[in-house]
Amino acid sequence: MLYFVFLPFVVLAYIKNRKVGYTIVWILLLANVIVTFVVSEVGDHPITIFKDLNPRTIYHQPTTRFGAYVVGILFGFLYHEYMKAKKYPELNGQVGARFYNHVYNSKSTRLAFYLVSSFFMVFLILIPHSELKSPEKVWPQFLSSLFNSLHRIVFVASMGLFLASPMVGRNPFMRSVLGGKFWAPWAKLTFMAYL
């Protein structure tokens, strides 16, 4: 809920001045990485929640989890600029328009995004399993803290890159599956449960 309360202020800053909006997003991402790293270091948190003796301080606090939400805001800004540039071609120089136009026009970029983002998503899912196999902590604390501070941000950024192609209409099958009308009742149900 804190994220929803905070979002209008970030969007308002972006609407008033795009550079200020982007600056706020990057500051928030950096703040999230630093805060999560420090909390993980101080609390001696492992990579996986199953071995954590005090998971509430890192896995349940909004201050250590908002980075993923901010990455979503960043991709929202980029996509907004792309969609606006379709209506107003003079805006094609904006970052989002250039990014998504490049995705639309470059098959090699789309393929690279699919491969690299798939690798990172699978890698970030499988890494915690390496620690589950051993009764002891496998990773040194510095690496555990680095993983804890970056894995959500990198996962959501990878997902954004993976979905860039369907979002610009270059993978209609995936777009029809992920954006299918049969998901609408489930989305409404989960949102109602959230509320």
Q: How far apart are CA 106 and CA 117, in angstroms?
A: 16
Task: Name residue, tokens 């610009």.
Answer: 168
Residues 128, 130, 135, 136: is their CA dihedral positive or negative? negative
Question: pLDDT of 156-186, one tens digit each?
Answer: 999 999 999 999 989 888 888 888 888 889 8
Question: pLDDT of 55-83, one tens digit each?
Answer: 888 888 888 889 999 999 999 999 999 99
Residue boundaries of the structural domains of the chain: 2-194
Question: pLDDT of 1-12, one tens digit each?
Answer: 778 888 899 999
**Which pairs with CB-CB distance under 8 Å and at least 24 residues apart come from 71-74?**
71/29, 71/153, 71/156, 71/157, 71/160, 72/156, 72/160, 73/7, 73/10, 73/11, 73/25, 74/22, 74/25, 74/29, 74/160
Q: How far is CA 126 from CA 119, 157, 194, in A?
A: 10, 17, 28
